[in-house]
Structure 1
Amino acid sequence: MAEKGKKDELTWMHVIVRVFLNSTTHPIEYAKVLIQEMVPGETPGLAINPRNQKFKKKCFARGSVFYFSKFFFGYIAHIKKRDGFLGCYRGLTPKLAANIVSGVAFQRVTENIQFKELDGEVNIEELNMKQRTQRFLQNTARESAGRAAAIFVSQPFHVIAVRSMAEFVGEDGQYVGVFTSVGVIYREQGVKGFFCGLIPRLLCDLAALWLGKTLAHVINNYLVEDKDLKQYVSASMNFLASALTYPLQVVSNCMAVSGSGLVAGSPPNMPIYDGWIDCYRHLKQIRGLKRGSSMLWRAYTGPTIMLGGSPAIATNSMFAAPASS
């Protein structure tokens, strides 16, 4: 009983820390969501034109497609100017609800998954390679189940949070509270509306988990012997895996808004996608899969024109002279 009480205490302490951190960094996350959902440079008042030609030549000597700018902070400043300080925390309540629900679900699921062999506290250095691999697979499988459960139960709150933030674009005023938002989604889209963007979000999280841990396992057991260095390897591989799977996060947030009836999720701001694969293909075509991936670097997609009521990346083929007869 004492051990169970201690675990419950640690669980709630972890949840409290997550709530605090998410509350503190919410304005940054808010700006990130807006950047992910909209074509960069097309939002009134938020376009940033890089004019420092000397800096551009220095940074883009190798053909980089990124412009250095105060893009994140430009969004936050614009939000604060229009909606005030409290406006920077739009969508915080459902976001915190999602974090609390996901944290508790993850803890409960992982606690109830037990393996007969190599579970609990063991000295990794005393295990042979086969046993290390077995333990790695067990722990990663358990964490995968916990994360999948956490994402599934928290998705409705995540959808509400993303849509609440997306309302900044058109000032729709529909998602003014959690209970009101639940009614709006159920009335307009039914139960499936609460799980928009679920599949790419699941794929993003689980792919990042397995990729990061697999790379760390291989490098730490076959290439690196220093114990201190192994800790840095794990952190680096997790960061790399998150970067590689980031496009799926963009797709997930776009799918949470597309077709919702909000101005941000309707043409010309965003197409109505047939599914998340259609969304991925479109974002790849307009080079939008890295939106919001960096606080300091803005992905440059080239000149944008309106084509059929929707923004599109201008290409040479659009302006090619017709063939002579």
Structure 2
Amino acid sequence: MADTRVQVLLGTGLTVLSHPLMYVKVLVQIGHEPLPPTVGRNIFGRQIYQLPGLFSYAKHIINIDGKSGLFSGLAPRLCAGTIGTIVHSTVLQRCQEGGQQAEEHGLCEKGEGSLKHVVNETTKEMIARSCATVVTHPFHVITLRCMVQFVGRETKYCGVFDSICTIYREEGILGFFAGMIPRLLGDVLALWICNMLAHLINTYAIDNSMNHMGEIKNCSQTVTGFFASMLTYPFMLVSNLMAVNNCG
């Protein structure tokens, strides 16, 4: 329980700090271009037109809604993060307990570092993440809709409770799960790609006799995670667009 509380507190802090970045990213994803392109140069030195960057976009939002405008949709996102962390920790703990019982009864081998062990651990993590995603997706939908109403200056999605009532009244229960399938697929694929690539690198590319082997393996996990996120980004993009499609 103590570990879960620490995770919730850390997650809340990171969510607050990163929220403006996510806000700008979502507006870019839906194709909102409130500022004219500027003249710049690409990596080859050729003159091209460029869309505004992160800071220009954020400044535009501040000019219209003030600094608090950068945190539109933060409340439902915090709800999603808190609930998701609790669900993920609970489900993962149950899966770990089930795995320990299987080991005690000799139904499976420990074999840490083996491919079978990586598959088992990834499967447990997949189940935990999927449960957390399904439970928190309604809050994710509300978060996105609170953000994108910046485009048309609507006020349909103000608070969490009002947004829940609005979505249920207009779209029913299915409205809370718009875009959930591609989001789940993206999360699952990213997890498996990351863990499998990290296992291959740690097994065949890293010598166990090397100094700082633990740090090197953590670094490989980070690199493969970034690579997996790039590969599965289209799933997240499609999910976000489906979540805000035809919402007014």
Shift of 1:223: 2.0
Q: Structure 1 residue 243 and structure 2 residue 230: aligned?
A: yes
Q: Is the 8 A contact 2:84 2:133 kept in 1?
A: yes
> 2:173 is matched with which residue?
191
What amino acid sits opposite 2:183 in the alignment? Answer: R
Shift of 1:230: 2.2
Secondary structure of 1:111's counterpart equals: helix
**Which structure 1 residue ranges, 5 or more long, are not aligned?**
1-7, 119-123, 263-325
Q: Distance in 1 between matches of 2:165 and 2:28?
A: 27
Secondary structure of 1:251's counterpart equals: helix
Q: Distance in 1 between matches of 2:43 and 2:204?
A: 41
CA offset digits 1:92-121 (Å, max 9, x no partner): 000100101111110110111121239xxx
> 1:171 is matched with which residue?
153
Q: Structure 1 residue 11 and structure 2 residue 4: aligned?
A: yes
> 1:294 is matched with which residue?
none
> 1:56 is matched with which residue?
42
> 2:115 is matched with which residue?
133
Counting only pairs closer than 5 Å after superposition, residues 194-205 of structure 1 correspond to structure 2 as: 194-205=176-187
> 2:242 is matched with which residue?
255
Q: Is the 8 A contact 1:200 1:248 kept in 2?
A: yes
Q: Distance in 2 between matches of 1:60 and 1:216?
A: 38
Q: Max radius of gyration: which structure?
A: 1
Residue 26 (structure 2) aligned to one of 33, 51, 72? 33
Residue 105 (structure 1) aligned to one of 80, 87, 96? 87
TM-score, normalised by the number of residues in structure 2: 0.88
Q: Structure 1 residue 117 and structure 2 residue 103: aligned?
A: yes
Counting matched residue pairs gives 234
Runs of 4+ in 1 over 4 A off after TM superposition: 66-70
Q: Distance in 1 between matches of 2:7 and 2:199?
A: 26
**Which structure 2 residue ranges, 5 or more long, are not aligned?**
105-109
Q: Distance in 1 between matches of 2:181 and 2:36?
A: 32
> 2:107 is matched with which residue?
none
- Matched residues, percent identical? 36
Residue 86 (structure 1) aligned to one of 46, 68, 76? 68
**CA RMSD across the alignment:** 2.1
Q: Is the 8 A contact 2:167 2:175 kept in 1?
A: yes
